[in-house]
Structure 1
Amino acid sequence: MITNFLKNSFVWFGLVVLTLPGCKVMNPSVMFDTGVNYPYASFEEEKQEYIIKPFDKLNVRIFTNDGIQLIDMESNSNTAMNERYQNPYMVEHDGLVKVPTLGRVQVAGLTIKETEKLFEEKYSQYYQKPFVLVNVTNRRVVVFSSGSNLGKVLTIENEQFTLIEALAQSGGIDDFSKAYKIKLLRGNLNDPKVYLFNISSIEEMKKANMVLQANDIIYVEKRTRYASRSLTEIMPYFTLLNTFALLFVTINALK
């Protein structure tokens, strides 16, 4: 009787172990699951300039004489003013940004190039041949590497910031990540475009030279370690089963 009980118990235990790899319990940190036959977006490069929005932070640098001299750079008495021209300026909720000399200027809805041209036109009333450089300092992408165990927020520092650069800055691809299954989510999260990248070979990696846009989400899928994960998950049950079997044997021995 005891032998049959133990035999049946271990049979059920074995069935539980076999079903674990297909369960969510084996992959509790999985994010952005697309399922089977998901219609991923095509790899056509989207040539889309960034549009300035309310609450963006702008770094504005102003030069005179077509870029020869930064305004007030040579004036020690105007150091504070010079710093003001280089510090980020917040675009307010109504799309206006307050900058030195000009006051509040409408910039929301414009590209960076259009904003630079607008500032140059307005500053030409005060300076000779002004040359303006504008950078949006709060453009970011989010990278989840090693599955969702590690997450980083990276700042887009140039207009050609690519997926490969973002992966490199976030630590690259480790032994527990799938280089052939990297997802990029773009656009409205209620209905995002999802791209699938494979950088495991040179030929496939060409597609991964994609220029990122603000608010892109990159997810590197994690390689599931079934053996160690299975042991971690089933050990409490194994201990319970072993204790119950020992108790059962002890009770029967005392009869």
Structure 2
Amino acid sequence: MKTRILLILILAVVMTTSCASGKDIVYFQDEPLEDGLLMSEPKQLLYKPDDILTIHVSALDPDTVKPFNLPLISNNTSNITSAQSSSQVQTYLIDYNGNIEFPVLGKIKVAGLTRTELTSLLVDRIGSMAKDPIVNIRLANFTITIIGEVSNPGTFTIQDERITILEALGLANDLTIFGKRKNVLIIREVDGKKKFAKIDLTSINTVNSPVYYLQQNDVIYVEPNNAKIRSSTYNQNNGVLISAIGTLTTIIAVFLVK
């Protein structure tokens, strides 16, 4: 009988200090992985609606290609004019239908094209009106979002238009000690639908994953491990409560033994 009472008291301590379950903490628990798995990746980045492009056309004779460049917009906010205090921005927003409005040439369908394909298209069309044009294209809003158990979560703008998941996690200063290395979730939009993939960072086969190279607007989620989940409901009053229950249990145990 004495043993039973003591066990009940110990159980009460355990229940009092119990923590939240994974269902209260983990994101994307019901993601339809079977229906939305990413199986392959394009070899090059494909432009899509809402992308913002910078396109600059140059040539040996700048006057011949001047009509093909948007007016330069200065971001200089001071009265001092210098090369370092001003910047020039020429941007084209790809609309919902995948088009941009380009000077002289008018509406051009660019969604679904790679940078190489769009460059060739513009060079061919501008080349019929100007000699030896040079077209430079860059995606201005290539961003990725990293959330969960990383040291520096957030949304990052990528300059090179090509980044691996390892490089991305490097931008977030790596996973915390509480992040699940074997269950990193990638969310990507493909043809207007959300697709999913999971990566095991503990395996060298990660470099062969179809999502090893990230795409525009990818989301990376690092799930917390059990240790993090268990500690999620801990607060400063728990220590006092545990101490009080422990003391009470000791006193009762002493009297029971007597």
Q: Secondary structure at the match of 1:120?
A: helix
Contact 1:43/1:207, CA 8 A, preserved across alignment = no
Residue 47 in 1 paired to residue 42 in 2?
yes
Shift of 1:131: 1.9
Alpha-carbon separation, structure 1, partners of 2:71 and 2:152:
41
CA distance in 2, matches of 1:119, 1:112: 11
Among 102, 111, 114, the residue aligned to 2:114: 111
Report the alpha carbon displacement of residue 122 of structure 1 after superposing the two structures with TM: 1.8
Q: Distance in 1 between matches of 2:103 and 2:38?
A: 43
Equivalent residue for 1:14? Answer: 13
Task: Give SS of 1:60's match.
Answer: strand
The answer (yes or no) to whether the contact 1:40–1:196 under 8 Å persists in 2 is no
Tell me the residue number matched to 2:28. Answer: 32
Deviations 1:208-243 (A, max 9, x none): 79111123221222232477546439829948x97x
Once the two structures are superposed, the pairs formed by residues 1-255 of structure 1 within 5 Å of their partners are: 10-17=9-16, 20=18, 23-24=20-21, 28-33=24-29, 46-64=41-59, 71=62, 81=71, 86-146=89-149, 151-187=153-189, 192-199=195-202, 203=204, 206-207=207-208, 210-223=212-225, 224-225=227-228, 228-229=231-232, 231-232=234-235, 235=238, 238=241
1:134 Cα deviation (Å)?
1.8
Cα distance change on mapping 1:87 and 1:177 into 2, 3 Å:
same
Give the aligned partner of residue 251 of structure 2.
none
- Alignment check: 8 A CA contact 1:145 1:170 kept: no
CA distance in 2, matches of 1:190, 1:91: 18
Secondary structure of the corresponding residue to residue 92 of structure 1: coil
Q: CA deviation at 1:117?
A: 1.4
Contact 1:141/1:154 (<8 A) preserved: yes
Which residue identity lines up with residue 32 of structure 1 in the other structure? F
Q: Which residue identity does 2:13 align to in structure 1?
A: G
Q: Could you tell me the TM-score, scaled by structure 1's length?
A: 0.64
Kept in 1: contact 2:188–2:219 (CA 8 A): yes
SS of 2:116's equivalent?
helix
For residue 80 of structure 1, report the CA deviation from its aligned partner.
Answer: 8.2
The 1:161–1:227 alpha-carbon spacing in structure 2 relative to 1, beyond 3 Å, is: closer
CA distance in 2, matches of 1:64, 1:169: 37
C-alpha distance 82-102 of structure 1, shift in aligned 2 (>3 A): farther
Cα deviation per residue 1:185-228 (whole Å; 9 max; x = unaligned)?
A: 334697633222224x6x45544791111232212222324775
**2-structure distance, mates of 1:187, 1:232:** 39
Give, in angstroms, the shift of residue 31 of structure 1. Answer: 1.4
Q: For residue 214 of structure 1, what is the amino acid of its counterpart? A: Q
Q: Give me the CA root mean square deviation.
A: 4.3
Residues 115 and 124 from structure 1, CA distance in 2 versus in 1: closer, same or farther, beyond 3 angstroms?
Answer: same
- Kept in 1, the 8 Å contact 2:183–2:198? The answer is no
Bigger Cα displacement from structure 2, 224-233 vs 213-222: 224-233
- Larger displacement relative to structure 2 (26-35 or 49-58): 26-35
Identify the structure with bigger relative contact order (alpha carbons < 8 Å, sequence gap 6+): 2
Q: What's the TM-score once normalised by structure 2's chain length? A: 0.64
For structure 2, the 5+ residue unaligned runs are 75-87, 249-258
Inter-partner Cα distance in structure 1 for 2:96 and 2:36: 33
For the Cα contact (< 8 Å) 2:206–2:212, is it kept in 1?
Answer: no
CA contact (8 A) 2:37 2:196 kept: no
Shift of the 92–39 alpha-carbon distance from structure 1 to 2, 3 Å rule, reads closer
Query: Percent sequence identity over matched residues?
Result: 19
